[in-house]
Amino acid sequence: MLPLTIAEAARHIATRAFSPVELTRAVLDRIENLDPQLNAYIRTTPDLALRQARAAEAEIAAGHYRGPLHGIPFALKDIFSTAGIPTTGHSRTAIDHVPAEDAHTVARLHKGGAVLLGKLATHEFAHGGPSFDLPWPPARNPWNTAHVTGGSSSGSGAAVAAGLALGAMGSDTGGSIRNPAALCGIAGLKPTYGLLSRRGVWTNSFSYDHAGPMAWTVEDCALMLGVLAGHDPLDPASADRPVPEYRTALTRDIRGLRIGVLRDLYERDVPVPAVARQAMEAALEVLRGLGAVLEDVTIRPAADYYAVKVLTAEAELYAVHEQALRERPGEFGEDFLGRSLAAILIRAEDTIQAQRERRVMLAEFAPLYRRYDALVTAGPGPAPRLESWRTIHFWQKGSLTTPFNVSGGPALAQCVGFTPEGLPLAMQLVGRPFDDATVLRIGHAYEQATPWRTRRPALTPGAMPLPLPPVPDPTSAEIGPTERDRIAVVARRAGLLLNERQFELLCAAAPYVEQMAGRLRRPRAFTEEPASIFRFGTSWDLDVVQNRRVGQDNPRSSR
């Protein structure tokens, strides 16, 4: 029976070829046999899954078929709140956190009749990793368990690729859906910002967080998006717009569509290996063969987008976790600390300049949206080995994905082939804001014209997981004693009590924070406003005030 796509399983369920209960039992058995070598799941919920599957079976038998997700087993990155089920963020600091209600997206999946299998591994609070010093081990890549999955939706990528869930939810702040989708050889969509509610999802960055679907095929992502999308009046960033029928957009016909090729991004700016460039050239030829009109186009250097995103997002992340970082920094993993602590070195003016620059960047995308129906570029990959990761890489390496978090429109990662060693390769399709349907249309047409969805990871039941590599030593900072003294003063003023190793992580990031801030320092007119704007209060704002009055706004504040 397994593995199956969502579309295949939905057809079998609708025709009574097998029941949701049979499908759910089969997936649970597969998880039991294969997940010990992958660590994709933090916890499974078999009793709940079987109850939901039986309810779906009874409803379908009674003629109450809810749609293509009815009876379909799925799983959640463990930052999505689940009523009565721990939601930990893969962190020791929230290990006992049990939400009282589901996230908005989770509630919509349940309304569609989907069956929850459990909670998936992530990088700590969707930021940092792979980490080897957390309560649960990092997820492994099903194509080769010695390699990373990409993050932070690491368990989601591994589970879908291995057939341990037919679909999964991920989140994307700088590429955290598309990175694991690319490295694990699946499809992952970062929808337009505001298309899906963020309510009930652990915040990484208010300005850049996107929730989105991850599945084996583009069609499956479209099926999930059709259930997930919709206005949430309790999320201040939620867009109140009509939701199209995404599945009907999958016509396979892309003749005449104009696609801008961001070749400089992956050839010179953030260069990918030769094997990935070759796969991209072959993918572009497929798109041309399908009738699309391709033309090379350039955008700014990736480092500009990265600086804008990091200087804003790290400050927002620090604000979310400030109390815990002050009171118990040792409960966080070192990779999270190596990113988040550096926010104390970001000046207020640096964050505002980043927001002002983002508004300019958004304006720069407007003519591209007018000229092209979509943009295409390479995705990350192939996946590196687990032991190669160092925390400092977050600050040192460029990003193929972050420009499209800054722009806010939809971005899809999908498989375009494999290395000779069998590791997946990927491309990204990027669209106009709220034109997610066109991105899915192009991705589906490419997928139907290529053979990559017929190949799955070869996993042996009962295989033992590889030993974890040792926790790497923090990189020594190349800064002098005067700068170290200054950083120590800033840390004390922030109320941080750091041990020597934690302080070294902070110092190692310091030069890169300054470099990023320096990229954005230039003369500006006083009329240049930031991308963040004020708007008058909503029902959500009133709820926040009411929750604060009864001490409910921070589930970790009492710990």
Residue 104 token pair: 């908005």
Contact assessment for residue 90 and residue 202, using Cβ atoms and an 8 Å cutoff: no
77 an active-site residue? yes
Residue 431: strand, helix, or coil = strand
Contact assessment for residue 439 and residue 431, using Cβ atoms and an 8 Å cutoff: yes
CA atoms within a 13 Å half-sphere pointing along the CA-CB vector of 515: 11
DSSP assigned state of 268 = I
Contact assessment for residue 335 and residue 475, using Cβ atoms and an 8 Å cutoff: no
In DSSP terms, 293 is beta-bridged to 258
Taking Cα atoms as reference points, which of 211, 218, 288 lies closest to residue 256? 288
176 an active-site residue? yes
Distance CA 409, CA 387 (A): 34
205 an active-site residue? no
Taking Cα atoms as reference points, which of 341, 342, 334 lies closest to residue 390? 334
Cβ partners under 8 Å of residue 47, min gap 6? none
Neighbour count for residue 463 (Cβ, 10 Å):
13
Neighbour count for residue 326 (Cβ, 10 Å):
12
Catalytic residue among 19, 77, 154, 207: 77
Residue 522 token pair: 């230039």
Catalytic residue among 91, 153, 176, 205: 176
Catalytic residue among 91, 131, 152, 207: 152
Per this entry, what is the length of the chain?
559
Which residues are tagged catalytic? 77, 152, 176
